[in-house]
Structure 1
């Protein structure tokens, strides 16, 4: 379950790290995933605090609702994180469609490691809340949850490089991944308004779209160019 919930994290890290110098990208991915591991372990050790984030901080009177809308700390974090994810993914799509590369015409214009790490940490916190709350609902033993998180991060570290290279080599896959992140951002915003969306539907849609795109990629490789025929020689 931790591996499945970490897929969106890997996609985001792979896309953001691509703005680093190629020599720093592997280091950036490793730092990003290690930070995600540390953040999740810290949150697991602060379960009582996480549970407390579901307590309303204040209420908003909504005329069309039967009850006041209680705003919790979790709602605020999910709302800000969802907007950040939507904004970042939209900016990346705009950059790709406008043909603006990470390299400027007068030399390299890569982002700094510090800036990328800050973005990774921010989104790690948001994704970690989703992961931790799911883990809390499955088991009560914190040690078991920590072991699961460590094992899942080990798997992600082993395959993050291949996933990143595959995404960056294929523009259509990268665009699809950015669309997934926008969808996840919308889901987080909806959850901040207490509108739960079944995650199974989200992951099924992602898997279905990915399979279709992989089939399209294979078809494009196998397709032979169309040969025009001149009817005069028939």
Structure 2
């Protein structure tokens, strides 16, 4: 059972990518939250998934995914597997997903959940998201679901020319900005766009100095 009403609510809030809305409509968010939260899984709000982490508000999931403008067959690096809901959205769009989670307590169940639901071909790793996945770079897109205090240089460097990165950046306590960063094709400065004020759980490691927003 999918989330038809949730998808319609997101459309009314301005999500216009019909592919993203169709994926939201088909996925059952209740399958990605603790049993005690399933009655409210259809609400447009973040929910706790244990270990101090949350599953993002559906509007934010849809907004960030829409901002990536993923095409089928593109390779995307996701930082923060969580319960696997955003991972499933990316995979349903036809992307080849590489997903990283710093907490083994979340990574293991997320992998089991996604494989049980029939998602094949997703690459999983437990590790420091700010370091990215260098041996399989470059990626067409990078999406982060936890907020570093500044943009990790490794994630930008692992984008292909023309690649897109969507990531919340800001302090652990206080306002954060959802950024879209595009790596130009010819060595120019990165294109940085502020999309939305947000609040995400912090990325568990601190990126080294480098590309600082």
Same fold (TM over 0.5): no
Larger radius of gyration: 1
Q: Which has the higher contact order (CA 8 A, sep 6+)?
A: 1
The TM-score bracket by the shorter chain reads under 0.3
Structure ranking higher in strand proportion: 2
